[in-house]
C-alpha cells in the first residue's frame, strides 16, 4: 500500500531535510510513502489555518495522514496551543485522514520545558482521540542523553560516518533519525516488531 502523508509546520519540518529522511526511513522499514509539506519559517498553526494553502490541501489532497507541527520555541502555552490546534484537527478529521501530532522538543538549554510541551500535546490528543501522537521530543532528548554516554571511540566512529553524509552534522543527523523513528512508530499500522530501530542501526 502506498501512503500519502502531508506535513504542516515550520523550519522544524523542512530544516535538514526531515521530510526526505523520514521517507527514506519508511522505505527501509518496508513502507511505500509519498510525503508532501506545507512549511514556512517561524509560523504556527494559526498562520497555516488562515493561509490559502493548508485547508485546500487538507480537503482535496486525499492524504492518509496529516502531520501537524506547532511552533514551540518559545512555547505559547496550553491555552493558545489548544485553541490553534482544534480547527486544524477538525478539518483533518472531516476528510477521513488521520491527524498526527508531532510532539516537538524543548530547547536544548531547557530540558524541563519538555514536560509542559508533552502535557499540552496529551491534552489535545485526549480532546481528539482519533489523532495520533509522535513522541519526537522525548526521542530527541533521549538520544541526546545516549550521545553523552557514548565512548570517545563510538563518538569518533559516528562522526566519521556523518562526514560522508549528504544530510547534516552528527548531532543533527542522529536527532533527525530519532524524530523520524518516533513518527514511524506512531503511525497506525506502521509498527513492525521485526524492525530494528534506525537510530540504533546508525549508531552501532
Please state which architecture CATH assigns to domain 2-203. 3-Layer(aba) Sandwich (3.40)
DSSP conformation letters of 108-146: TT-TTHHHHHHHHHHHHHHHSTTSEEE-HHHHHHHHHHH
CA–CA separation, 204 and 192 (whole Å) = 20
What is the model's pLDDT at position 138?
75
Q: Is residue 200 over pLDDT 50?
A: no
Instruction: Give 96-150 pLDDT, tens digit per residue.
Output: 999 988 888 777 777 777 888 889 989 999 999 999 888 877 776 676 665 555 5
**Which residue has cell 518516533?**
182
Q: Which helix (H) or strand (E) holds 167?
A: none
Q: Is 30 left (phi over 0), alpha (psi -120 to 50) or beta?
A: left
Question: Taken in order 120, 101, 188, 88, is the CA torsion positive or negative?
Answer: positive
Q: How far is CA 153 from CA 51, 103, 142, 158, 175, in A?
A: 49, 32, 20, 9, 19
Q: Is the pTM of this model over 0.85?
A: no
Worst-scoring range by mean pLDDT, 13-22, 64-73, 124-133? 13-22
| Number of neighbouring beta carbons within 10 Å of residue 148 | 8
- Intra-chain end-to-end CA distance of the chain, in Å: 31
Amino acid at each position: 500500500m502506498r501512503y500519502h502523508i502531508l506535513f504542516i509546520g515550520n523550519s522544524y519540518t523542512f530544516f535538514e531535510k526531515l521530510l526526505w529522511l523520514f521517507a527514506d526511513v519508511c522505505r527501509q522499514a518496508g513502507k511505500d510513502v509519498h510525503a508532501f509539506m506545507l512549511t514556512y519559517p517561524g509560523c504556527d498553526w494559526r498562520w497555516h489555518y488562515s493561509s490559502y494553502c493548508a485547508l485546500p490541501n487538507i480537503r482535496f489532497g486525499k492524504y492518509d495522514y496529516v502531520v501537524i507541527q506547532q511552533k514551540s520555541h518559545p512555547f505559547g502555552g496550553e491555552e493558545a496551543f489548544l485553541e490553534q490546534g482544534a480547527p486544524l484537527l477538525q478539518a483533518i478529521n472531516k476528510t477521513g485522514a488521520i491527524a498526527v501530532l508531532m510532539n516537538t522538543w524543548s530547547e536544548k538549554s531547557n530540558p524541563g520545558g519538555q514536560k509542559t510541551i508533552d502535557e499540552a500535546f496529551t491534552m489535545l490528543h485526549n480532546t481528539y482521540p482519533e489523532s495520533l501522537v509522535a513522541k519526537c521530543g522525548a526521542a530527541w532528548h533521549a538520544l541526546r542523553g545516549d550521545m553523552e554516554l557514548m565512548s570517545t571511540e563510538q563518538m569518533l566512529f559516528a562522526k566519521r560516518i556523518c562526514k560522508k553524509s549528504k544530510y547534516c552534522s552528527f548531532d543533527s543527523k542522529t536527532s533527525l533519525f530519532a524524530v523520524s523513528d518516533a513518527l514511524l512508530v506512531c503511525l497506525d499500522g506502521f509498527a513492525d516488531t521485526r524492525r530494528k530501530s534506525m537510530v540504533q542501526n546508525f549508531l552501532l
